[in-house]
């Protein structure tokens, strides 16, 4: 063909060869090779077009028209073929990536309540079932409420019981000194100032102490305060209430024990322990603790000075109060041996609860 002048017969052959080889192509890469061979700038069809001037003038017109017709036709079937291959490979791709609905899905990481929050909720529910309401109060507190109104005046030695974090820069001429509350007891006073008896209320909340941390001490922790004021409340009510609490949180059959303790805002003041005796198989109910009795909270009958300070007549009203550390209760209940685990954001620890 290169040496001879092409004629209409040559065109026919080239045309059918081109179509045949295009139909035989199975891979995308080969399509491009085909295009270059036939329709490229140096391709067969282009050469045929270039050869038109050599054609005998009488045949030139027909020949030229035929070449152009073949070129357009080949071009059209090439484009069509190319598009269909593209679609085919796209759809074969989606086929292999199709979602297999029988496979298990990715696990969705689910958050949960912090152990302290859960414990507060559990304790609150227990007291709620005994008729107690629940409220909260400020973490930055006046000296007046944290100590003064609780029968702990300035320079009283009992202040040493609470290592306090004072707020610097309090203008003591204008305001009283402020601190991060060392316990939730100031809420006893705030509640009594604003409420007429009868009162049955608990106050969960965060407290702070100026203390070095170790396995049993944190400088920030939660307490739950309790207060019940009414006519004729006695120590028997305190005992009955806290006994119920111990049964609900630590299990039926738990014994409780009271011992004298000193807190300036109660008289008498006590600490309460729960029993931890070995069972018949020699195991103690509280994991990791080897004592028969474990102290869990402080309590007492509200001191007459405290009642008087809020304007209650101690000859008419009496009441009891108690305070417990939330993390401490959780540690005993779940056998946690280091209080620092609570706030070190270790998910391995936290997700157990």
Nearer to ligand DAH, 6 or 323 (CB): 323
Residues 280-319 that bind ligand DAH (CB under 6 A): 298-300
Look at residue 227 and give its three-state secondary structure. Answer: strand
Q: 141-144 long-range CB contacts below 8 Å, 24 or more apart?
A: 141/178, 141/179, 141/180, 141/181, 141/186, 142/175, 142/176, 142/177, 142/178, 142/186, 143/176, 143/177, 143/178, 143/179, 144/176
**Number of chain residues interacting with ligand DAH (CB under 6 A):** 12
Nearer to ligand DAH, 43 or 264 (CB): 264
Give the whole-angstrom CA distance, residue 302 versus residue 266: 4
Q: Taking the complex as a whole, how short is the minimal distance between the CB of residue 121 and ligand DAH, in angstroms?
A: 21
* Contact flag: residue 127 with ligand DAH (CB under 6 A): no
Give the whole-angstrom CA distance, residue 173 versus residue 103: 71
Q: Is 330 a catalytic residue?
A: no
* Contact flag: residue 263 with ligand DAH (CB under 6 A): yes
Give the whole-angstrom CA distance, residue 304 versus residue 101: 71
Locate the DSSP E strands across 67-218: 133-134, 140-142, 165-166, 178-180, 199-208
**Contact region with ligand DAH (CB under 6 A), list: 57-65, 113-121, 244-252, 262-270:** 262-270
* Contact flag: residue 183 with ligand DAH (CB under 6 A): yes
* Contact flag: residue 192 with ligand DAH (CB under 6 A): no
Give the whole-angstrom CA distance, residue 201 versus residue 185: 12
Nearer to ligand DAH, 202 or 336 (CB): 202
Q: Taking the complex as a whole, how short is the minimal distance between the CB of residue 345 and ligand DAH, in angstroms?
A: 26
Nearer to ligand DAH, 51 or 185 (CB): 185
State the residues that interact with ligand DAH by CB under 6 A. 183, 185, 225, 263, 266, 269, 298-300, 321-323
Residues known to be catalytic? 162, 183, 209, 223, 266, 321
């Amino acid at each position: 063909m290169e040496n001879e002048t092409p004629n209409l017969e040559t065109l026919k052959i080239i045309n059918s060869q081109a179509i045949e080889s295009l139909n035989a192509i199975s891979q995308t890469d080969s399509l491009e090779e085909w295009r270059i061979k036939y329709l490229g700038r140096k391709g067969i069809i282009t050469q045929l077009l270039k050869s038109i001037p050599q054609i005998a003038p009488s045949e030139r017109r027909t020949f030229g028209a035929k070449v152009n017709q073949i070129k357009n036709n080949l071009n059209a079937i090439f484009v069509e073929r190319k598009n269909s291959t593209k679609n085919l490979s796209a759809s074969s791709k989606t086929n292999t990536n199709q979602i297999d609905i029988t496979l298990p899905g990715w696990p969705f990481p689910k958050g949960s309540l912090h152990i302290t929050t859960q414990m507060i909720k559990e304790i609150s529910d227990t007291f709620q079932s005994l008729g107690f309401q629940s409220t909260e109060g400020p973490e930055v507190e006046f000296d007046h409420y944290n100590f003064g109104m609780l029968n702990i005046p300035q320079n009283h030695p009992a202040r040493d019981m609470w290592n306090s974090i004072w707020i610097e820069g309090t203008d003591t001429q204008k305001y009283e000194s402020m601190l991060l509350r060392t316990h939730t007891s100031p809420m006893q006073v705030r509640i009594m100032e604003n409420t007429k008896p009868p009162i049955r209320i608990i106050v969960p909340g965060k407290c702070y102490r100026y203390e070095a941390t170790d396995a049993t001490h944190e400088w920030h922790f939660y307490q739950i305060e309790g207060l019940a004021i009414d006519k004729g409340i006695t120590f028997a009510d305190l005992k009955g209430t806290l006994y119920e609490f111990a049964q609900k949180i630590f299990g039926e059959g738990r014994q409780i024990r009271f011992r004298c303790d000193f807190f300036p805002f109660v008289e008498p003041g006590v600490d309460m322990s729960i029993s931890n005796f070995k069972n018949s198989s020699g195991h103690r109910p509280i994991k990791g603790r080897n004592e028969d009795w474990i102290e869990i909270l402080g309590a007492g009958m509200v001191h007459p000075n405290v009642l008087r300070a809020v304007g209650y007549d101690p000859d008419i009203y009496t009441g009891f109060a108690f305070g417990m550390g939330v993390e401490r209760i959780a540690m005993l209940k779940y056998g946690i041996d280091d209080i620092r685990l609570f706030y070190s954001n270790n998910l391995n620890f936290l997700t157990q609860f």
